[in-house]
Amino acid sequence: MLNRSAKGLSDFYGYYPMLATIVTAKSGRKENAMAVAWHAIVSMKPPTYGVSISPKRFTHRLISKGRRFAVNFMPTSEAELIAAVGGCSGRDVDKFKEFGIEKAKPLAIDVPILKRAYFAIECRLVDTFRCGDHDLFVGKIAATHWSDDAFSKSGLVRFAKANATAYMGENRYLMLSKGKAIYLDRKECIKRRRRKAAGMQRPKT
């Protein structure tokens, strides 16, 4: 017998796991990267994708003004980066500089694409829906980036190769290829990524 509640959403994270992504956005010279687990394909013809973001977030402002965004699907090796970008605001920090985030060249839209992603999509904003305390941004997919190793010939994700990362809630991430959950403290991840970025920027002697 299942427990039941008529109060709406309970305190359980029953809707997880969801693939952990980093959504990037740009408006003018401002750009940002944000950890997002609430996202989904919403149409195939035309190909459109949706991301759910709170109006409190800096990325919300950039998408609203720039009318473009990218969704970057990250491997487990970048789980620490996901936690780091999710632990601070782009209002206060240039995350690309602070965390040494490497970018790849976009194909159709001037929006940051993360070099370490195994799959990424560029989206032009076509609609916005207010959904309670979040807004659903719906974008038409204009370009796609992928790693050959991460996909089969039929286009299915090869989890052993992609090393996809899922978010479980409560700062816990699931390594799908190993079926193992890990806890990542966002503040500690920020410190480690900053140290790593500083090492990358230090001139060689």
Per-residue pLDDT reduced to its tens digit, 139-169: 999 999 999 999 999 999 998 889 999 999 9
How much is the mean pLDDT over the chain? 92
Percentage of the residues of the chain whose pLDDT score is greater than 90: 78
Domain assignment present for residue 163? The answer is yes
- Number of Cβ within 10 Å of residue 98's Cβ equals 17
Q: pLDDT at residue 202 above 70?
A: no
Residue 165 domain-assigned? yes
8 belongs to a structural domain: no
Whether 10 is in a domain gets the answer: no
Domains: count for the chain: 1
**Within-domain flag for 3:** no
Give the per-residue pLDDT at 199: 82
In this model, does residue 190 exceed pLDDT 60?
yes
Whether residue 205 has pLDDT greater than 60 = no
Task: Tell whether 4 is covered by a domain.
Answer: no
pLDDT category at 1 given cuts 50, 70, 90 is confident
In a domain, 7, yes or no: no
In a domain, 6, yes or no: no
Identify the CATH number of the domain in which residue 189 sits: 2.30.110.10
Domain that holds residue 138: 18-199
Contacts 24+ apart (CB under 8 A), 80-83: 80/184, 80/189, 80/192, 80/193, 81/22, 81/116, 81/189, 81/193, 82/20, 82/22, 82/35, 82/165, 82/167, 82/173, 83/35, 83/171, 83/173, 83/184, 83/185, 83/186, 83/189
CA distance linking residue 26 with residue 68, whole number of Å: 7
Q: What is the pLDDT of residue 102?
A: 96
* pLDDT on residue 14: 83
